[in-house]
Amino acid sequence: MKIMMAGLALAEALFMAASGGNAGESAAGRKILVAYFSWGGNTRGIAGEIHRQVGGDIVEIELVKPYSADYHTVLDEALRDQRAQARPELKNQVGDLGPYEVIFLGYPNWWASIPMPVATFLESYDFSGKTIVPFCSHGGGRLGQSVAAIAKLVPKSTILEALSVHYSGGSSLPGEIAVWLRKIGIETK
């Protein structure tokens, strides 16, 4: 497992702050991490609602060199990165993923797959034996090939049924998430 020691203390401080004490402890006592990448904020909102319902810790996957804030430019940048199978450098490091049993992994559908920063994230840690729960914000293409792309990167993980949300999900989001969590057997707070 690749651990950047410099990032460890920061990550631990972040997690303690997010969980209000017992790092990563959800209401049901399972160690849960909600990790997400978001360009426009929709996935961030969905991640926040999942975190509200399941507890645990939450962390945003951020880039050293962020994508352009301009929509047309980011379309080109994302396509370029996907074609090159780039691994953009991440700003934050989670530190020790060891204690987490369940990792919710959120991202926008980008060109029918995962944004490449999500690939960097998945290759930066040892996800063997972990349960990964993907969730994806999209503009009509639902999950696309994203779950297959994740499975290829973490062949030793269990991947639960993913949730796809149209853009921000609107007012039905909390209910949609609650139904999905019940279906996949994740306890809520």
Binding site for ligand FMN (CB under 6 A): 38-43, 74-75, 78, 108-112, 137-141, 144, 167
Q: Which residue, 7 or 141, has its beta carbon nearer to ligand FMN? A: 141
Q: How far is the CB of 174 from ligand FMN (least distance, A)?
A: 17
Q: How far is the CB of 25 from ligand FMN (least distance, A)?
A: 27
Q: Which residue, 19 or 43, has its beta carbon nearer to ligand FMN? A: 43
Amino acid at 6: A
Separation of alpha carbons 101 and 86, rounded Å: 28
Q: How far is the CB of 114 from ligand FMN (least distance, A)?
A: 11
Q: How far is the CB of 57 from ligand FMN (least distance, A)?
A: 19
Q: Which residue, 41 or 99, has its beta carbon nearer to ligand FMN? A: 41
Q: Which residue, 31 or 44, has its beta carbon nearer to ligand FMN? A: 44
- Please enumerate in sequence order all residues whose Cβ is within 8 A of that of 114, keeping only pairs 6 or more positions apart, or say none: 107, 146, 149, 150
Separation of alpha carbons 94 and 12, rounded Å: 8
Q: Which residue, 75 or 173, has its beta carbon nearer to ligand FMN? A: 75
Q: How far is the CB of 8 from ligand FMN (least distance, A)?
A: 27
Dihedral of CA atoms 81, 124, 154, 129 in degrees, nearest 10, equals: -160
